[in-house]
Structure 1
Amino acid sequence: MKKPDNEKASPVSKSSRRNFLQKSVLGGLGIAFLAKSNNVAADVEYTTQKVSRTSNPTELKITDLRVANTTDGPIIKIYTNQDIYGLGEVRDIADPRYALMIKSRILGLNPCNVEQIFKAIKQFGGHGRQGGGVSGIEMALWDLAGKAYGVPAYQLLGGKYRDKIRIYADTPSSKDPEVYAKRMNYRMEQGFTFLKMDFGIGLIKDIPGALIGEKFWSGQSEWDQSRPGNLSNTKHPFTRIQITDLGLEKMVEYVHTVREIVGYEIPLSADHFGHFDTNTAIRLGQAVEKYQLAWLEDMVPWFYTEKWKEITQAVNTPTLTGEDIFGKEAFIKLCDEHAVDMVHPDLASAGGLLETKKIGDYAEEKGIAMAMHFAGTPVSFMANIHCAAATQNFVALEHHDVDTPYWEDYVVCDKPILQNGFVGVPETPGLGIDLNEEVVKEHLKKGEKLFAPTDEWNQRNSWDRQWS
């Protein structure tokens, strides 16, 4: 008899088969049928050929955690004592050690107890990319649990609200608004039904008289992380940069040009603007109100709840923040205070699939919608897809690599992943993907190896309980 495809892909040991037979018979598989058979094992195998034998969930244990540190982000792989493994990702090219430091805390545990493990390791997460280790492990646990039970991850979160996920694309900016508008128009031709633009103060910093106080910071890259006191590491209210009337006029002209080409039938949101104070944020928000932007993003840091509330109450354009928040607690504060109109978690910082769904569910109770931030490999992207499918107040998910030709090649799944601005929700177990390891190898960071042993992280050397 020809063996079914799922068995050929996932062989089981003789002991596993014997245990399965014993439990099946005791469970009433059909004792009368078995008693008449000349070959009980063969008949049970035929009768149950559509039953997944990949895993025995109650006996599943974590045995290892390894990393493939790519130029697009660290991909983690959690191994088990059975023939399945889980995939996750540390956020946005962050340090893989955020995940490796937690390895000793999860070895030997059953990965199907996702929430229990999350509560044990949550203490090792932090805001921004420091949440990447906990979140990446949580992703891999849901991938494992879905594979163990033979269901897609969204099903374990309570089921889905939608079959396809709306995507908004990151679009390379240009100081020429007409060039940028044409790029945005191309996004619509690609099928996107939601757009986001960049029109921060970087666009006008070379215009004489457009900004006050910017020259003090000149020559300091906003993205330079090496200097504690530079512009990148100075919180918005403390830079004392202000936009003049001329600067506002130029920024409004930029938005006007883009809106004229894009039109008003499609949502157009605004990305991070740079670092300036609350008063300037309000002036800018009021200046662009007539263009009906979908949201104004990260105008001040997320933890200034009162400042966010002040901005939100002063402008009619929706406000949004949250991509650097770890855990639901800070989102709850923002929602309770009605400090923002929308929340914007990054699943790879927020705590993973379930924590992000909890954030969305709480926001929903307060009448607040949820968009989702994303930048990374298809591993984290597909984790976002499952969470978005399972969360009712979801609006749209960001995609930073629409123009990266090899990006989808990282994984094996139904292709193309992105079609006409939407992504179909996978119906295969777990996250619904596997790795194309040859492509992963091509994009490893210099000196890195593919899933090399990490035994140096096996030993647990401290007592982690945070209470007495």
Structure 2
Amino acid sequence: MKITDIKTRFIDIYMFVEVHTDEGIIGLGEAGSWAFLEAAAAAVETFKRYLIGQDPLLREHHWQYLYRCYHFRGAAIMAALSAIDIALWDIAGKYYGVPCYQLMGGKCRDKARVYYHVYGGSRQELIDGCIRAKEAGFTAVGHLTPFADEPRDKSWFKTFASRIDDGIESVRQYREAVGNDVDLCIEIHRQLTVPEAVALGRGIEAYRPYFFEDPVKPDNFDEMAEVAASIPIAIATGERIHTLQEFVMLLSRHACRFIRPDVCMCGGLTHAKKIAALAEAFGVQVIPHNPLSPVSTAACIQLAAAIPNFAIQEYPIGEDRPPKSGIVKSALTLEDGFLVIPDTPGIGVELQPDAEKEFPYIPREYKTRLQSDGSVFDQ
């Protein structure tokens, strides 16, 4: 079997990669570089010059060849490599007639717990989202900020004291709204300094958050480790890093209790499986990052099935996006807050033939929020 073509498909806000073979098997993957999908598409075209004519089943060899050939790294390149790698795993599963997790040692579980995305421009909207999630049968809610999802064109300012007190009060009300039947996955979006993160982390301890995600910027692992050593709740981080070596540095500093590799950014299933094994050695659990399409979800579930230290899966529904059925034909089934592990060969999803026409590409708006003094604010 040989690779005959590689195509990129832009649908809505997503970019997909299809790897075609001379046996008619087509593999599907997704790139996770968010606002830089065009750059990832250019990297796919570069990788394509090597891949055409190659045996698609040599996944590890191709991964090493593409990653190490010219020694350049970065999010766009890794997103392209991730999408191609997922597509090659999809081909392998279809070729052998098994789900990808069977090629990774078989499944460790029959279903994967997921958490529901909650959005809102006010505290009440976020509370209402938590309640809806509970009513829908979810046992965890995430993407849940203590500070509300305010528009990026609104300037920002709060005093230290008011910000911390407001954040603590929000988490208290989330807990009051859902009781102990729903875990709260508190998302900070890298917005805090170390003193702010420590103050907020200590303040929300009483409300038993499942994890405290990305309290500070991920560029400095020592800062994350300082926060982790200073608060009693579990930190989750890792969505913005994408190499095995970066995850080693994060884990060796004991900077988190949950790692969040993005399968569509960290090198696909090949690399994500290795990152999960590293985390296992440190007693750290894995929560795959997944703000993308059902293709990303399907790839994440293959990883979730195959690793012993899987904790919970991010499951993005509820946003103002096209219905999942309009983008893909999927084998995934949601039951009482869990995705059933499918037995479909490959990753278990296919793109709808007319998805590009139905949902034309929408480049993400490039806008960052500013503080009241005109400086940049992380959101």
Range into which the TM-score falls when normalised by the shorter chain: 0.7 to 0.9
**Which structure 2 residue ranges, 5 or more long, are not aligned?**
364-379
% same residue: 29
After TM superposition, give the deviation of residue 128 of structure 1 in Å: 4.0
Q: Which residue of 2 aligns with 1:136?
A: 83
C-alpha separation in 2, matches of 1:278 and 1:349: 26
Q: How far apart are residue 275 of structure 1 and its match?
A: 2.8
In structure 2, the partner of 1:27 is none
- The equivalences for 1:86-235 within 5 A come to 86-91=27-32, 92=34, 94-95=37-38, 96-123=41-68, 126-175=73-122, 177-201=123-147
- Which residue identity does 1:432 align to in structure 2? G
Amino acid at match of 1:178: Q
Return the match for 1:269 from 159, 166, 185.
185
Query: 2:94 is aligned with what amino acid?
Result: K
Task: Give the whole-Å Cα distance in 2 for the aligned partners of 1:203 and 1:104.
Answer: 42
Q: 1:102 to 1:204 in 2, by over 3 A?
A: closer
Q: Quote the residue 2:366 is aligned against.
A: none
Cα drift, residue 135 of structure 1: 0.3
Residue 360 (structure 1) shift: 1.1
Shift of 1:410: 1.9
TM-score by length of 1: 0.71
Equivalent residue runs for 1:452-467 within 5 Å: none
Of 220, 225, 234, which residue of structure 2 is paired with 1:309?
225
* Deviation digits for residues 53-100 of structure 1 (CA, Å, limit 9, x no counterpart): xxxxxxx11111111111131111111111211111111462222322
Q: When the two structures are superposed, what TM-score results if normalisation uses the length of structure 2?
A: 0.87
State the number of aligned residues.
356
- Of 413, 421, 428 in structure 1, the residue corresponding to residue 330 of structure 2 is 413
Higher strand share: 2
Q: Secondary structure at the match of 1:348?
A: coil
Q: How many Å apart are 1:305 and its aligned residue?
A: 1.5
CA distance in 1, matches of 2:193, 2:158: 7
Structure 1: distance between partners of 2:147 and 2:266: 28
CA separation in 2, counterparts of 1:333 and 1:271? 22
Q: Determine if contact 1:354/1:387 at 8 Å carries over to the other structure.
A: no
Equivalent residues in 2 for 1:286-435, closer than 5 Å? 286-403=202-319, 404=321, 406-414=323-331, 417-435=333-351
**Structure 1 residue 156: deviation in Å?**
0.8
Measure the CA separation in 2 of the matches of 1:130 and 1:286.
Answer: 38
Residue 274 of structure 1: CA displacement?
4.7
Aligned pair in 2 of structure 1 residues 410, 361: CA closer, same or farther (>3 Å)? same
**Farther off after superposition, 359-368 or 264-273:** 264-273
Pair 1:82-2:23 in alignment: yes
- Matched-pair contact (CA < 8 Å) for 2:322–2:359: no
**RMSD of aligned C-alpha atoms?**
2.4
CA deviation profile, 1:297-336 (whole Å, cap 9, x unmatched): 1112223111111100100010111011112211111112
- Long gaps (5+) in structure 1: 1-59, 206-217, 223-240, 448-468
Distance (whole Å) between structure 2 residues aligned to residue 446 and residue 257 of structure 1: 36
Relative contact order higher in (CA < 8 Å, ≥ 6 apart): 2
Give the whole-Å Cα distance in 2 for the aligned partners of 1:79 and 1:66: 8
User: What is the CA distance between 1:121 and its match in structure 2?
Assistant: 1.1
Partner amino acid, structure 2, of 1:66 = K
* Closer, same or farther: CA 181–360 of 1 in aligned 2, 3 Å: same
Whole-Å Cα distance in 1 between the matches of residues 150 and 153 of structure 2? 15
The one of 54, 62, 87 aligned to 2:3: 62
Specify whether residues 437 and 157 from structure 1 end up closer, same or farther in structure 2 by C-alpha distance, changes over 3 A only: same
